[in-house]
Each structure stands twice: as C-alpha cells, then as structure tokens.
Structure 1
Amino acid sequence: MTPNEPVDVHPNPVIISELPEEATVKLEVIQSLLEPCDRIAYGQRLRDGAQKLGISVRSVQRLFKKYQEEGLTALVSSNRADKGQHRINEFWQDFIIKTYQQGNKGSKRMNPKQVFLRVEAKAKEIKENQYPSYKTVLRVLKPLIDKLQKAKSIRSPGWVGSNLSIKTRDGEDLEITYSNQVWQCDHTRVDVLLVDQHGELIGRPWLTTVIDSYSRCIMGVNLGFDAPSSQVVALALRHAILPKKYAQEYKLNCEWGSWGKPQYLYTDGGKDFRSNHLLEIGVQLGFIPQLRDRPSEGGIVERPFKTFNQSLFSTLPGYTGSNVQERPKDAEKDAQLTLRELEQLVVRFIVDQYNQRIDARMGDQTRFQRWEAGLMKEPEVFNERELDICLMKVTRRTVQRGGYLQFENVMYRGEYLEGYAGETVTLRYDPRDITTLWVYRRNNNHEAFLTRAHAQGLETEQLSLDEAKASAKRLRSAGKSISNQSILQEVIEREVLIEKKKSRKQRQKEEQSYKLSQTKEVIELTESTESVLEKQEVISDSSLDDIEVWDYEQLREDYEW
C-alpha cells in the first residue's frame, strides 16, 4: 500500500477492555502511518516504526494491513506466561540491583557496563560458569534507570516569551505555536443543584470542557449527569469538532465560531483518558492523545472552572458552593433550574462572555480573536456520520416487524428497516435528544450505517434521555400505560406547566416593578414638594428682610402732625 491510495480505516473495531503497553506502542506506529504524507515520508515512517517495534519493515506493513481488517484486536498478541520476568535466579537479580544502587549512592556513579564487570568478578569468585550476560544486566536495570531519569527530568519550561511549552508523560516537550494544535479536556462537578421538569431535586451535573491551549478559547462542552467516562469525553469532543448553531431560545449576541480538529489531545492520567475508546477515536479522526507529566501542567483547562464558579454558578438559584461546610442553608429549597436551562446559561456565558474576554497573556486580543488569528489553515469539516460512529453513545436492539425499534419505552420507526426484522442492530444516540437514533448493522468486524429512526409522534419535540426516564417513572407511579402518546402528552403538559410557572413569575416581577415605580413616584413627589416649600420659605425670608417698618407715633411727634 502507498500513501496515495485511499486508507480504508476500520470504522468501528472491537473495543478491548484494557490495551497492553506493547499494543499501545504498535498503535502509535499505526497513528504515524495514518497521517497524510508523500511516498518518501511514508517509507521513512515505515522504517522508524520497524526500528521502534524491533521488527522488519515487511512485518510493520503486515501489522498495518491486519489492523485495517481487525481493528484493535490485531494489536493484541498472546504473550508467554513468564513475559516480563528475568530468567535468572534470585541471587543474580539481587546482586545486580544492589551493586547498581550502592554504586550510585551519594556522589558515586556506576553505569550498567561496570555492573556487568562486577558480575563477572563475582562469578569467578564463586566459580560460577553460568552468569547473566551484559544484555540481561541491562534488562534488569532498565526500570531503575528509567525511574532515575524521570526523577531528574526538569519541569515543563512553561512560557518562554510568547510561546508555551508543555511536557507529556513520555518526556516529550510540546511547543504550542498555533490554534487547534493542542486541545485540553477535563471535568468538574457543577456546584448548582438542579431539579427535573416536575420540580423534584435530582442533584448536581458534571461539566466537561474542551479548551484550545494556544488561545484559551473553549471549543466545546458536555453537560449531564453521567459521571466522567470515555463516552462523556467523546461527546464533548464531538461538540468541539463540529461547527455550532443555536436556536433563538439561547439569546446569543455572538456566535460560537470555534471548531475543528486538534493535533494533540492533552489530558491527565484518568481512566477515562487512558481508555481504548479514546485511543481508537484518535486513530479514526487523526489526533494523538497525550497524558500530562504532572498535575501542575493542567492550569489551562482547570482555571476556567473557577471562572465559571465565580462569575456564573454563584449567581444562580441552588448554588451549593465548593465548600460543604459553607454551603448555603437554603440551597435545596432555592433549586429551580433544569438541566436544559442550565445548559442554555452555560452556552450563553461561554459565547458572549468567556470567549470574548481578553486573556491576561494575549494583550489586545480576545480568546476568540486569538484562536481565529492563530489558525494555520481552515479547519477540516467532518461528516456527522463519521463522528457518530466514533463518538456517540451506543446500545443494541432487535428490529421488530414493520421496521420498528423500542428504546427507553419510546417506539421508533426507521426507513428500509422492514427487511431487517429479527436482526440485532446497533443504535447510536445523543443523550441530549433521543428523538432521532442512528442505526448501524454489524458486518464481520465493521459497522455499516443503515438509516435514521425517528420517535413516532415526537418528531417535532426535543426529548433528552433523562427526561424520557423521568416521564416513564412518573407515568408508572400514576398507574398509566407507557407509550409514545402518553410520553408526548406528558411532555406537552410539562411544557404548559413550565409556561404557567414562567407566566406566574413574570406577573410577580411586573407587580414588583409596578410597586417599585409607584414608590419611586411618591418619593419623587415628596422630594419635589419639600423642595418647593423650601424655596418658598427662602423667598419669604428674603422678602421680609427688604421691608422697612415705620413707627407712626414717632413720625407724628417728629413732624408735628
């Protein structure tokens, strides 16, 4: 295969629970071969991969072909039971380690070659003909040497002038010089209590953010009650990668214009970021997941959470505060926001405020302006189906007669599904709106897109996964049968209730506003009256000063009247 030929990347390989270290190295080689390049560079990558894996170039080509056919399972090989164990007795293993440690105490220094010479001398002393070779000594000491080198490695250089450099767990320094080069992702528990559509308390949601390291611009988010996982990360990435459009109900003054695909995804070492699912997404979309060397490297992605808390969450009803001991007493009583309402507020804050603010290190550019100016090229536009196959939540169902499917007590129907009655298909969906499902059929190790399936009678509505579960629970408790019509009716009644609630609040606001205006008028009239009286008093006082008083009797006596 040549680099100019189309690469038939495996669309949805079998997901393995845990990827061994050896398979991870193979996956890195596969990632390098998937990146676009010319014929000369492709040949060099083959040779580099062969050297890295310790196999021939032809073996690397066979491995790449096997990966295209089988996915991640091609990278996992059956290992010997004693793999990783040194085939020398315990005496020699302890002698090698102790000799190396004693030889490097304090100011002393001893290398593996000198340790091997001590091994030879000891073998002669005890008259042992079978002793460890130099390569065996190297294998025994490799973990110790690697540990010492990592301990001596310097911290990330950080900001050098106007450039930022970060260090990966592999010891690589990434110098960030343009937008969409390095994205960072992390989660936080939102310090706001939410209620469901019926006003019942349901708890605090999780917020996942994806941030561009060069501009500090927020690229995408995911807000929901699911705990951090690779699927939650995937949904946040999907939101970040796609161009974003929002309805008028979000009341945005600006557009969320940042999107594209990163070259690296830089995260902490959490299990959700080390998953095979995320590695496979990186291979499919063409970015490389990298782990942070130290927790202190995560300031770029963690600092915005504090901004959210101080500038947004602390102003909302139901705010709990980050300190449990200092939690407001009436947080549970004050809670009144739903997940959808909070999501609208978060989006509005990001688009109209956070991305439009000037970062301290950016001078006269807002975060969005810096992101836009720092693009090396126009971001790649992905087909949503490509992202669905890698990023959306997955479940499996059996097709019923007539092409119908049932999911979360909702009945769906998809075009062209009649002929697949009785077959098990894969459903992919966005938990924020499950009125549409994407249906895939598994063919060997591949999944082929079949059609969309729409919720019957709910095509014009928006129904999240949590709302569907809450509606079903409410209908069960009321002793009613669950169907699309009952769920639709429940949604309609809920919307009417919310509108009434909003109207009542609006009337209360109007009454308060009217009372306030009346109070202001009375105060203004009182102040005006007092001002007039004061003026009249001043005028009266000044007039009295100008009047001259004559004594009539005195005048008669003086002038002999």
Structure 2
Amino acid sequence: MPAQATFYRLVHQLAHPADHPAHRVRNPPITEDGRGFTPTVALRPGEQVQIDTTRLDVLALFEDGSLGRPELTIAVDAATRAILAAVLCPGGTQADAALLLAEMAVPHPARPSWPDTLRFAHSALLPRERLLSLDERLKGAAARPVVVPETIVVDRGKVYLSRAFTGACEALGISVQAAPPFAPTAKSIVERTFGSVNTLFCQHLPGYTGSDVTRRGRDVGRDACYSVAQLQDLLDEWLVHWHHRPHEGLRHPVLPRLALTPNQMWPPWSRSPDTCPSR
C-alpha cells in the first residue's frame, strides 16, 4: 500500500467530486484536473446541429376548442445559426423525430402568396446556381438552406434515443450525440434561439403570454385566434426573414466588424462578386 496521502490523492483523481455519479454534472463539465472541457466549435454548415423542444409564449386554439401553448421543436445549425427545421405541435404531444430529418434535408416549398424575394430562385445570398443544378425542387422552394447534418446534439428524450430515429440517422450517415444531463450549455445555441423566436415572432402575435405575468395582457385568452396549423404557416414565412437577418454572433475572420446573416455564412461557392458581403 502507498502512503496515506498518496492513496487519497489517487482516489481523488479517479473519483473527482465533479464526476461522481451521485452528483449532478457541473455547468460547464469539469475534468479530473479541475479544468473545463473546451466547447465544441462548428466551422462549416451541417457540422453540428442542435435539436430541442420548448413551449412557445403564445396561446393557440387546439382542435378540441381548448387554448394552450404549443410546443416548438427546432433544429439549429451551430456554424450558421440557420434554423433548418421548425415543427409546431399541440401541448402534450411530441414532434416526429423523423420529420425533423426530412425538414432539414428536403427543400421547403414556398407558399403561393409569398413575395418573390422569399423564394430560393431569387435569393442572392445562397449558392443558388450550383444547388439548382443538383435539385430541381429548389426552384419553387423558400430561401432557406438545406443540409444533411454530420452530427446532431439532442437531449436524452425517448423520441431522440429511439431505434427509429437513431436508425434513420445511421442510414443517412448522421452521428447522434446525447447532451449530458443537467448541462443546458451543451445546447446553448438552440436555447438562445428559442428566446429569439419568442421575442421576434411570438411577441407580435395575438395571444402572446410573455415570459411571466408582468409581460402579458389582461385577457390573453380572448385575443388568441390562431390554430397550430396557422401558426405553423406564419412561422414558416418568418423563418425566411430570420435567415436574412444579421446576427451579432456571426462574424467572419475576413470581416470581423460586419454582422452577417445565416445565409451569408453559407459556403460562398457559385456566388458572383457583387453578392458577397462588403466591408
């Protein structure tokens, strides 16, 4: 047996309190030497996509005539902040995980009532010439990026760890990474995006509940007038504007002072010089 001090030091290294099974995972996770893990950095579109679900701060009319807050499931690309998929469901139900994969990998059709500026064929920020030659469905699609992710970060919900979802990801060559429990910073980008959806989209809708009672109207239930399907249509149109909106967290090493849009962060191949962002 080694000396008592040496023995306790070895035990401390093998079973650090931060990694003890009886303790919650610290935020951020701590290694045995006391240093935090280096956060994952995504450098290209599709390298890491974060998926999560939350209740929106708006009331909707359900099919049974009741009012409730719908649940929103989104998939956000970590490198470009592009919202690749967004599915609304009534409260208490879960979105089909396989539907999210289809939303990310299949072009989103543009509504007939949308202006031409929201269509993919008229977008000057996406590599439309090259992509149109690969998929003709993009001619009638919305100006939103499409990608098959390399890695998907999910929570430990049953729908994301099911055999159906993991099998579909395996067939597409997608790696599924489960976030640590009690560590919300593992999906910090998608968590922050939820806040933006509530403030930039839900806040301008009738039936907005706000984050607490101090931020809502006197009779929110009377103002609610949209069904979940109608909210989904409005959200799909708003997402096109989201991809044309500059984000303070999106910077390019060549243009560090310019806030870029998610579409501008997409690979610049097949772009003409007059469509690239300028200083």
**So what's the TM-score if we normalise by structure 2?**
0.69
CA distance in 1, matches of 2:169, 2:113: 34
For 2:163 and 2:269, locate their aligned partners in 1 and report how far apart those are by CA, in whole Å: 31
Cα distance between partner residues in 2 of 1:180 and 1:330: 43
| Counterpart in the other structure of 1:322 | 211
- Name the structure where strand makes up a greater proportion of residues: 1
Identify the match of residue 185 of structure 1 among 51, 54, 69.
51
Name the amino acid aligned to 1:304: T
Structure number with greater Rg is 1
Question: Residue in 1 aligned with 2:132?
Answer: none
Query: 2: distance between equivalents of 1:329 and 1:180?
Result: 43
Give distance in 2, aligned partners of 1:297 and 1:355: 23
Which residue does the alignment assign to 1:194? 60
Partner of 2:246: 358
Indicate the SS of the match to 2:85.
Answer: strand
Alignment partner, residue 161 of structure 2? 274
State the one-letter code of the partner of 1:264: T
1:222 matched residue in structure 2:
87
**Residue matched to 2:195:** 306
The yes-or-no answer on 1:203 pairing with 2:68 is yes
Q: Which residue of 1 aligns with 2:144?
A: 257
Asked if structure 2 preserves the Cα contact closer than 8 Å seen for 1:210 and 1:220, the reply is yes
Distance 1:228 1:216, change over 3 A: farther
**Is the aligned partner of 1:155 residue 2:24?**
no
Structure 2: 5+ residue runs without aligned partners? 22-29, 119-141, 252-257, 271-279
What 5-or-longer segments of structure 1 have no aligned partner?
Answer: 1-95, 113-140, 159-165, 167-174, 376-561
Q: Secondary structure at the match of 2:209?
A: coil
CA contact (8 A) 1:228 1:272 kept: no
Structure possessing the higher relative contact order (Cα contacts under 8 Å, 6 or more residues apart): 2
Provide the C-alpha distance between the structure 2 equivalents of 1:233 and 1:185, rounded to a whole number of angstroms. 10
Please tell me whether the aligned partners of residues 49 and 78 of structure 2 are also in contact (alpha carbons under 8 angstroms).
yes
Identity of aligned residues (%): 25
* CA distance in 2 between partners of 1:251 and 1:147 (Å): 56
> What pairs up with 1:412-491 in 2 under 5 angstroms?
none
Superposed displacement of residue 207, structure 1: 0.8
Indicate the residue corresponding to 1:238 in structure 2.
102
How far residue 276 of structure 1 moved from its aligned partner, in angstroms, is 2.8
Q: Kindly tell me: are residues 249 and 216 of structure 1, through their superposed partners in 2, closer, same or farther at Cα, counting changes over 3 Å?
A: same
Confirm or deny: 8 A CA contact 2:16 2:32 kept in the other structure: no
1:342 aligns with 2:203: no
Q: Deviation of residue 301 (structure 1)?
A: 0.8
- The amino acid of 1:219's aligned partner reads L
After superposition, give the CA deviation of every residue in 1:27-59 in whole Å (9 maximum; x if it has no partner): xxxxxxxxxxxxxxxxxxxxxxxxxxxxxxxxx
Give the root-mean-square deviation of aligned CA atoms: 3.5
Structure 1 match to 2:254: none
Q: Is the CA contact (8 Å cut-off) linking 2:76 and 2:84 kept in structure 1?
A: yes
Q: Which residues of 2 match residues 41-120 of structure 1 at below 5 A?
A: 103-105=6-8, 108-109=9-10
From 264, 272, 275, the equivalent of 1:369 is 264
1:333 corresponds to 2:214: no
Deviation at 1:324, TM superposition (A): 4.5
Structure 1 residue 183: deviation in Å? 0.9
The whole-number CA distance in structure 2 between the counterparts of 1:306 and 1:146 is: 31
Aligned residues: 230
Q: Provide the C-alpha distance between the structure 1 equivalents of 2:190 and 2:230, rounded to a whole number of angstroms.
A: 24
Task: Please say if residues 356 and 367 of structure 1, whose CA atoms lie closer than 8 Å, have aligned partners that are also in contact.
Answer: yes
1:191 alignment partner, SS class: coil
- Paired residue secondary structure (1:306): helix
**Structure-1 separation of matches of 2:66 and 2:214:** 20
Corresponding residue for residue 212 of structure 1 = 77
CA–CA separation in structure 1 for the residues paired with 2:3 and 2:219: 63
Q: Deviations over 1:496-526 (max 9, x none)?
A: xxxxxxxxxxxxxxxxxxxxxxxxxxxxxxx
Structure 2 residue identity aligned to 1:181:
E
Quote how far apart the aligned CAs of 1:287 are.
0.4
In structure 2, the CA distance between the partners of 1:335 and 1:143, relative to structure 1 (3 Å rule), is same
Deviation at 1:241, TM superposition (A): 1.3
**Letter aligned with residue 177 of structure 1:** L
